[in-house]
Structure formats: C-alpha cells, structure tokens
Amino acid sequence: MATKNIMLVCAAGMSTSILVTKMQEIAEQRSLDVHIFAVSGTEAEDKLKDRPVDIMMLGPQVRYMKPKFEDLAEKNDIIIEVIDMRDYGTMNGENVLNTALKLTE
C-alpha cells in the first residue's frame, strides 16, 4: 500500500492531536504506511497547498467548514469527510483510521 496522507482538522488542532496519536498507534500495529497529522481549521487551507493530502477529515465541531474546502479538495483529488461524532467523542482512533482507509479503496 502506498503512503496515505491523512489530515485531521478541528477548531484549534488540539483535540485531533490526541486522535492522531491513537490512529498512529493502530497504524503501527498493522504496519500501515500512513502519515497522519492534525491542523486547526484556520491552518488547513495553507496545509493543503503545502503538502500532499489524500484524505481530509473534519472534526464534527468544524463540519460547517466542509463547503469551504470542497472546491480545493476536488481540484487536488483529496477526499473530504466529517469524522463520526461518536468516534470523535470517544477518540476511537481505530474506527477513524478504518473510515479513512475505506474512503480510498
């Protein structure tokens, strides 16, 4: 499997940092070639221009930003999805990672 770059977006980038750690632990256990990072909603657009992103996952609290990113995502062949509220609230890194990977199948 080629490297997948997954960007998580939340209001300040703080809560998604915890989720990134949990997702990375699962990815390492499975020997998956993924790069997962978190940014705030205000940083996301610049990050999309700076680095390759395959999947952009928005925290439920910033779901309203999805339309803002859709044109840019489409132009750059980036999949954009809102993280399930339950998985986000429980910081279920395994489910969020599984969802991200299924989006690229």
Q: How confident is the model at residue 23 (pLDDT cuts 50, 70, 90)?
A: very high
DSSP string, 37-89: EEEEHHHHHHHHHHS--SEEEE-GGGGGGHHHHHHHHHHTT-EEEEPPHHHHH
The domain tally of the chain equals 1
Q: What is the pLDDT of residues 44-92, one digit of tens each?
A: 888 887 778 999 999 999 999 999 889 888 888 899 999 999 999 999 9
Q: Give catalytic residue positions.
A: 10
Report the CATH number at residue 93: 3.40.50.2300
Position with higher pLDDT, 56 vs 11: 56
Domain limits at 76?
A: 4-103
